[in-house]
Amino acid sequence: MNKANNNLEAAKVILSDWGLEGSEISLIKERENAVFKIITPCNKFYALRIHRANYHTDKELLSELHWMEAVQEAGINVPQVIPTMDKRYFSHVEIADKIRQVDLFEWIDGEQLGAIEEGLGEDPAHINDVFTKIGETAGKLHNQSSGWQRPSDFERQAWDVDGLLGDSPNWGCFWELSLLTVAQKELLVKVKNQACQELIDFGYDAQRFSMIHADFSPENFLYDGDKIRLIDFDDAGMGWHLFEIATALYFFQSDPNYSIAKEALITGYRNYRELSEQDLKKLPLFMVLRGMTYLAWLHTRQTEPAAQALAPCLILECMLTIKQFIQSN
């Protein structure tokens, strides 16, 4: 097992598994995972991803990469997985006494469709174009996943009742977040119980529930000319399609042009897949569920500077979303 003291050192060491020694390495982002741009001596480009420790088992990661290949085969543009020299889908490196998974993808040229921090902007035509593309990609993806026969050994987290609202949700017990007031905690528990029953009643039919990307933010779409590609399947798992749609819209709810984005996304989705008005009425529920996951994210990271900076916004947004959910019932 190769060992390293930090992500950059690990990236330099692990490249030999792909026969890419001597390549130029530069950090692209370092948040949940660390992503590096690799430029080989013969000027080929790749993206190397060093995973956070203990988020996915090896079996879960292999399932993610297998689904990405199936999605690619269905005609949806996603990064191509590059196997190691001995044909493994990913490798391992030890960093600070923790085993980390590492995978390699083809490099994708292009720019992000947008950014949460920048809002929707002031150009209605651009907003319409961006969110139509996001909606169309979601429709295509859900067509693929709802009809796809998963391998018998496929294993992935689920954004189901237990994964979202159970005793130990995927991202943590959001109702225990210490930054919340007593009244806010009580409200979350009340809404959690109501949402749980609504999800059970909504059901798990493949028309509504299958593999989803689960991080459909504009940052995870790269475009180059007319080509658009979906990246970062790290949170992918079984889930409701409306959770996907809620993720794409969640952080723009307070934007003056939110209605343009929402309408464009739904129109784009319906260009490729049916979404009934009856199901769409459940969108406020899935907005609340998405907000709760972000509070869970805070709960497990509240000592980190980035989480501390985001906490007031995430709490306020979740409470506003709960208010809208209550009014919609």
Residue 205: is its pLDDT beyond 90? yes
Residues 101 and 120 in one domain: no
Task: Please calculate the CA angle 260-256-133 and round it to the nearest 5 degrees.
Answer: 30
Among the listed residues 5, 10, 213, 25, the one whose alpha carbon sits nearest the alpha carbon of residue 96: 5
pLDDT tens per residue, range 149-192: 999 999 999 999 999 999 999 999 999 999 999 999 999 999 99
CA distances from 17 to 14, 84, 160 (A): 6, 6, 37
Complete DSSP assignment for 100-129:
EEEEEEE----EES--GGG-S-S-HHHHHH
Residue range of the domain that includes 47: 3-108
The predicted structure's pLDDT at residue 302: 84
Residues 116 and 153 in one domain: yes
Residues 245 and 175 in one domain: yes
CA distance 59 to 50: 16
Boundary of a domain, candidates 81, 108, 135? 108
pLDDT tens per residue, range 41-85: 999 999 999 999 999 999 999 999 999 999 999 999 999 999 999
CA distance 84 to 91: 8
Residues 117 and 141 in one domain: yes
By CB atoms closer than 10 A (0-12, 13-18, 19+), residue 218 is: buried
Residue 117: is its pLDDT beyond 90? no
Residue 174 sits in a domain of what CATH number?
A: 3.90.1200.10
CA distance 178 to 290: 19
Residues 71 and 200 in one domain: no
Boundary of a domain, candidates 86, 108, 130? 108
The predicted structure's pLDDT at residue 315: 96
Give the position of tokens 């295509």.
140
Residues 8 and 60 in one domain: yes
Residues 253 and 139 in one domain: yes
Q: Average pLDDT, stretch 268-288?
A: 97
Residues 85 and 119 in one domain: no
Q: Average pLDDT, stretch 266-277?
A: 98
